[in-house]
Amino acid sequence: MTADTIELALEGAGAALAAESARFAAFGWMRGTSGNLSVVVSRDPLRLAVTASGHDKGELTPADVVLIDGQGAVVLGGRPSAEAALHARVAALTGAGAVVHVHTVASVAMGHRSPDGIVFRDLEMLKGIGQPAHDVEVTLPVIANSQDMTELGDRLEAAYNPQIPAVVVAGHGLYVWGETPRQARHHTEVVEWLLELELSGR
């Protein structure tokens, strides 16, 4: 990619991530400056636009993004989220075009309640992540948290379940992905709905 192409791609990615962040913040899923989002702008070499660190996610502008490489190192811009390297790892592992990380009460509570994984079945909302509504069990992985993104990435890769585009990080929050920012948003909303239902003790 040329410098001009990168700049245009980063600007477009920034606008998309600002809009998605505002939506999630309005739900109360990105309180304070928590959470982060990314979108792949190049696959070979792998480059992602990631929301910048320390910003209120309900007030992001298209400029509040950082371009990172496949290891999470900065290529262009300021300081990315501390979890930038995990976004890159998820994109490389799953082929996702966008990754969402939110801090929801339901994901933290259910991760504590079901540390070996959260099982869903016989729910119409499973169609929202590409699974049958009946007669299939889908397990959302739960992994232990770590401040070391390499270690956390290894845990995510070991627990990765192709049936569900998400993982709960215990005591931390929810990572979800999709082919596009819009699909990642839909997946996030569906998985969070499933978590809230389980938390309600249905």
Whole-angstrom CA distances from 123 to 102, 127, 167, 193 are: 23, 8, 19, 11
Distance in angstroms (rounded) separating the CA atoms of residues 35 and 57: 8
Whole-angstrom CA distances from 111 to 44, 46, 54, 192 are: 35, 31, 25, 12
Mean pLDDT by 10 residues, the chain (202 residues): 69 92 96 94 94 91 93 89 93 98 97 96 95 92 96 97 96 97 97 97 76
Distance in angstroms (rounded) separating the CA atoms of residues 105 and 3: 41
pLDDT at 202: 67
pLDDT at 12: 86
Q: Which domains does the chain have, with CATH numbers?
A: 3-199 (3.40.225.10)
Nearest partner of 35 among 172, 158, 138, judged by Cα:
172
Q: Is the Cα torsion angle 97, 83, 28, 145 positive or negative in sign?
A: positive
Pairing mode of beta strands 142-143, 138-140: unpaired
- Would you mind telling me the total number of residues written for the chain in this entry? 202
Distance in angstroms (rounded) separating the CA atoms of residues 13 and 1: 15
Distance in angstroms (rounded) separating the CA atoms of residues 187 and 193: 10
Q: Answer left, alpha or beta for residue 79, where phi above 0 means left and psi between -120 and 50 means alpha.
A: beta
pLDDT at 3: 64
Could you tell me the end-to-end alpha-carbon distance of the chain, in angstroms, rounded to an integer?
50
pTM of the model: 0.94
pLDDT at 66: 94
**Cis peptide preceding 45, ω within 30 of 0:** yes
